[in-house]
Structure 1
Amino acid sequence: MTTTADHDAYIAAAPEPFQASLRRLRALLASALPDAEEVVAYDMPGFTIGGSIVASYAAFSKQCGLYLRAGAISEHAEEIAAAGLKATKTGVTFSPRTPIPDDLVERLARASRKDAGV
């Protein structure tokens, strides 16, 4: 994917099978972080509060990723594993066949905000 200026352009340029998942993630993150500003940083759409990136997402050739503050991932590691998802220190990967549960996305976003101290 190429560098994009906004969330809409990023989602439109993503592989078609991932576009619905990305739209869902965007809506969930916007709802969980109502005072966040949408940005594109590091070639990924994200949400920032007080200058701190709190959450972002991306599409790749075979999966999507939700990226958060490390404290949010560690705080919810058991839930992530129970949902059958893989996590790194700052991200959770998923596919449209195995999406992240909506309520988990919201909890992760709020925990990431708390971890950022904003």
Structure 2
Amino acid sequence: MTLSDHDAYIAAAPEQFRPLLATLRAQLARTLPDAEEIIKYNMPGFQIGRSIVASYAAFSKQCGLYLSPGAIIAHAEDIAAAGLKATKTGITFPANNPIPYDLIERLAVTSRKDLGL
């Protein structure tokens, strides 16, 4: 299924994740006000120039927030302290343990800086 925008993506996501995705989108939009909302690789994201600064996704059992590797490394302790799992470019989390708002903001700002934007 190809989705054309963030609204369509959120509407098509598993019901338990929709409020979380909407909040994540709003937080990223506030933190990256000059970013363009895009859909790439079947995921909604925020792009500045040619670089995707942050994107998010919902899966069957969890959600993910995807950023630059430098942002994940820079905030590894905060991510672990929040009880979240991180990969090289993302953080996965269940609906009952979302990423704290202030951490989302710090991650997005760091991702932007890491990409030189």
Q: What is the TM-score of this pair, normalised by structure 2?
A: 0.99
Aligned equivalent of 2:79: 80
Deviations 1:14-64 (A, max 9, x none): 000000000000000000001000000000000000110000000000000
Partners of 2:54 and 2:15 in 1: CA distance:
22
Distance 2:61 2:95 in 1: 10
Q: Counterparts in 2 of 1:41-52, with a 5 A limit?
A: 41-52=40-51
Structure 1: which 4+ aligned runs deviate by more than 6 Å?
Answer: none
Cα offsets for 1:45-103 (capped at 9, x unmatched) = 00000110000000000000000000000000000000000000000001110010000
Q: Is 1:29 aligned with 2:31?
A: no
Aligned-pair Cα RMSD in Å: 0.5
Percent identity over the alignment is 71
Query: What are the within-5 Å matches in structure 2 for residues 1-118 of structure 1?
Result: 2-118=1-117
Q: Distance in 2 between matches of 1:90 and 1:44?
A: 14
- Cα separation, 1, equivalents of 2:50 and 2:26: 21
The residue matched to 2:47 in structure 1 has which SS?
Answer: strand
TM-score by length of 1: 0.98
> What are the ranges of 5 or more consecutive residues in structure 2 without an aligned counterpart?
none
